[in-house]
C-alpha cells in the first residue's frame, strides 16, 4: 500500500476547516455536523494527533475546542505548497450524512488537471457491517455512538471511512472539492 520510494505527506487542512462536528460532553463543547444536530463524541476519537488507519497516517484535528474541526465540502480549493515529489494516491478520512455520495474531485497538477470520483458512505451505514461497504472504502475509525441534537448519546455505532483516489504520478498542486455539504472530510494524506 505505501510506496517505499516516497514518504507519506499528511495534508494540512487547518485553514480549510469550516464546520464543527465533534462534541465533548466532558468539556460542554457542543457541535453539529449539519442541520440535524448530530455530532461525534470527542471522548471516543483521536485529538490533535497522527493516527494510522489502514496503514495510512492521517492528522486527526484538534477537536476539544470550539473552533471548526473538519471540512464540509463546499467547492473548496486546497492548495498544496509543500509537494515536492510525485505520489500515487490521495487518501481521504471522512464520511457522509443523509446518504451515500460519489462526487467529483478535480486534481490540478503543474500542467494539466483531471477529474476523479471520490465516494463517502453514510456514517452509520448498516452499523458498520464490513460485508456491505458501499463505495470501496475501508473502515478507518469506529465509534460506539453519536451525540444527538439534545446532547444525548445515540447508541448507534458509527465511524469514519478511508477512501482513496489514484493520482497521475505528477506533482499535485491543488485539490478542488465538490459542493456537497453532507460530505465531511477530517484528513487527507498523499502516498
Note down pLDDT in tens along the chain; length 191 residues: 455 556 899 999 999 999 999 999 999 999 999 999 999 999 999 999 999 999 999 999 999 999 999 999 999 999 998 788 899 999 999 988 888 888 889 999 988 888 887 776 666 554 445 555 556 788 899 999 999 999 999 988 888 999 999 998 788 999 999 999 999 999 999 99
Q: Tell me if 2 is assigned to some domain.
A: no
**1 falls within a domain:** no
- Report how far residue 84's alpha carbon sits from residue 86's, in angstroms, rounded to the nearest whole number: 7
Structural domain includes residue 4: no
- Decide if 184 contacts 99 (C-beta within 8 A): no
Establish if 3 belongs to a structural domain: no
Number of domains in the chain: 1
Taken in order 180, 182, 187, 191, the sign of the CA dihedral is: negative
SS3 at position 165? strand
From residue 76, how far is each of 71, 83, 123, 166 by CA, in Å?
9, 18, 22, 20
Q: Give the range of the structural domain holding residue 65, as residue numbers without chain letter.
A: 9-190
Amino acid at each position: 500500500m505505501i510506496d517505499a520510494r516516497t514518504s507519506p505527506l499528511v495534508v494540512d487542512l487547518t485553514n480549510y476547516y469550516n464546520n464543527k462536528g465533534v462534541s465533548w460532553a466532558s468539556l460542554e463543547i457542543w457541535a453539529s455536523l449539519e442541520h440535524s444536530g448530530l455530532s461525534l463524541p470527542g471522548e471516543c476519537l483521536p485529538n490533535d494527533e497522527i493516527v494510522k488507519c489502514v496503514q495510512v497516517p492521517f492528522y486527526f484535528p484538534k477537536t476539544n475546542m470550539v473552533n471548526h474541526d473538519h471540512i464540509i465540502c463546499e467547492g473548496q480549493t486546497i492548495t498544496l505548497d509543500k509537494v515536492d515529489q510525485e505520489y500515487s494516491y490521495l487518501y481521504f478520512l471522512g464520511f457522509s450524512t443523509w446518504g451515500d455520495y460519489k462526487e467529483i474531485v478535480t486534481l490540478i497538477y503543474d500542467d494539466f488537471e483531471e477529474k476523479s470520483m471520490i465516494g463517502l458512505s453514510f456514517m452509520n451505514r448498516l452499523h458498520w457491517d464490513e460485508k456491505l461497504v458501499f463505495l470501496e472504502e475501508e473502515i478507518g475509525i469506529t465509534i460506539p455512538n453519536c451525540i444527538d441534537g439534545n446532547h444525548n448519546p445515540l447508541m448507534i455505532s458509527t465511524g469514519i471511512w478511508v477512501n482513496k483516489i489514484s493520482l497521475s504520478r505528477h506533482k499535485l498542486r491543488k485539490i478542488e472539492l465538490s459542493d456537497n455539504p453532507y460530505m465531511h472530510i477530517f484528513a487527507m494524506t498523499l502516498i
